[in-house]
Amino acid sequence: MAAFAATNIDGLLLAAALFADRRYQAREVVLGTFAGIGALYGASVAASLAALVIPAGYIALLGLVPLGIGVKQLLEGANGAAETGRARHGLLGVAAINIAMGGDNIGVYTPLFATAPGPAVALYGVVFAVLTAALCYGALKLVAHPAAGAPIRRYGQRIMPYVLIALGAAILAGLL
């Protein structure tokens, strides 16, 4: 759950912006979000399988990726939600936006999956699907209650680097 939350705080804000944009139908936002996050999950599984050729002692070093991303975000300041005005419309457009924003997802999920047994990786997929549904629901609620969006935009971007750093440190320590 922490890995998903750390990599999808920006996705919540993006989904809220897309739900608010009349050029997108709610169905397109939901299905596109699932498609984008699903593609990032699949790419991360594939990348973690490549990690099977790496000696076991070195796999935990992949925790440097989320740790580095977190440090970079902390030093640069967290980025805001992607600009949606120039985005292509429709389900594929929403999926493409999610994939384009998902470099941190792959960087976090790959070492996490590489250090987990196969059944746990499958369970991550189920948990991520449930959390994607929750993300879409939460984003829709944000659109319905616009006053709630300001604190999330203000603090969510500040918290994300610390969550990524903690996740990377946990992978390095062999806790995940």
Q: What is the pLDDT of residues 157-171, one digit of tens each?
A: 566 677 668 777 877
pLDDT band at 84 (very low <50, low <70, confident <90, very high): very low
Q: What is the pLDDT of residues 106-129, one digit of tens each?
A: 888 988 898 889 899 999 999 999
**Which domain, by its residues, includes 18?**
2-172
Q: How far apart are CA 33 and CA 15, in angstroms?
A: 8
AA identity, residue 106: I
- The average pLDDT across 77-83 equals 50
DSSP string for residues in 81-137: PPP-TTSPPSHHHHHHHHHHTTHHHHHHHHHHHHTS-HHHHHHHHHHHHHHHHHHHH
The CA dihedral of 11, 139, 20, 147, to the nearest 10 degrees, is -110
- The average pLDDT across 52-65 equals 68
- The average pLDDT across 28-36 equals 94
Question: pTM of the entire structure?
Answer: 0.67
Percent of the chain with pLDDT strictly greater than 70: 76
The most confident of the ranges 63-72, 89-98, 106-115, 119-128 is: 119-128
Q: How many domains does the chain have?
A: 1
How many angstroms separate the Cα of 164 from the Cα of each of 28, 100, 118, 159?
29, 18, 23, 9
How many other CB atoms are there within 10 angstroms of residue 80's CB atom? 12
